[in-house]
Amino acid sequence: MKNKLIRLSWIPLALSLSACDVQVTDTTPPEFQANNDIGMYEVTATEKEGALVTPGSVVLFALGEGGGQKVQLNPNPDGSGWHGLYSVRCRSSFPLQIQAVWRLQGLSTRSIVVPPQPRMIKLTEPPLTRQEGFDTASKSTEAKGAKAAKGKGGKGEWTGAVVYRFATVPMTQITSARIEPSSPSADDVAAARAISVKTPLPVGAVCGDRVQLQLVSTAERSHGTLNIETDNPGMPRWQTYVEFSPK
């Protein structure tokens, strides 16, 4: 009987401990597509308060690496959770923890940080230029970004630029760029042979800035696939279909 009383005496104590706590769940997605125009990503969390937590006293924060960034989260109007915007630029990931701070009725302030070790939120490179066309018609070459010129032997040349932009590392080197046929057919092989890359390589692209690869076509009508390779782990290679034609 005495042992039963001892075991039962622990029940109110256990209940009182849980009633003093706040349970926090980090509901932030594991990855985002990087966006340097805004450079901010939505952090979300939910919390559940114990019975002895002072109503309205709970505050949630998003914590960065080593506490270097601390962002206060805002409660959702419908009470479903918390949200806030976390600032990151030119990185492929960032560490995240959620801190909750609250007061107990008649007692001191408490806090908790979850998880014990930061989660790493992944940032992925957005898709690069998939297709680019250049107008070789003489009346509109300047407006469309394709410039007509005279090449060797009096043959016409048309130039154009494909623009790329990277977002997850401070500097990306485009190490290789070449034009390949869009298919094995004889027509596509001949159409690609007329285009060449004129930009000296490698070429550097600062995070968030636009970098251009200059192309030259010796035919008024030509097309092919521009294949690039980079030292960026998030975008090691990419293909862009390019076409020179009069509009």
Boundaries of every domain in the chain? 2-124, 131-245
142: tokens are 């300047």
Give pLDDT, residue 155. Answer: 60
Q: Residue 25: which region, alpha, beta or left (left: phi > 0; alpha: psi -120 to 50)? A: beta
Give pLDDT, residue 247. Answer: 86
d(CA 117, CA 38): 27
Q: What is the CATH number of domain 2-124?
A: 2.60.40.10
Q: What is the CATH number of domain 131-245?
A: 2.60.40.10
Q: Which amino acid is at 174?
A: I
In three-state secondary structure terms, 37 is: coil
d(CA 88, CA 94): 7
Q: What is the pTM of this model?
A: 0.82
Stretches where the chain sits below pLDDT 70 are: 1-17, 66-67, 138-155
- Same topology, domains 2-124 and 131-245? Answer is yes
Helices (H), the chain: 2-19, 141-144, 186-193
Give pLDDT, residue 19. Answer: 86
Give pLDDT, residue 138. Answer: 63
d(CA 143, CA 236): 32
b (16+ CB within 10 A) / e for 197-213: beeeeebebebbeebeb
Give pLDDT, residue 105. Answer: 83
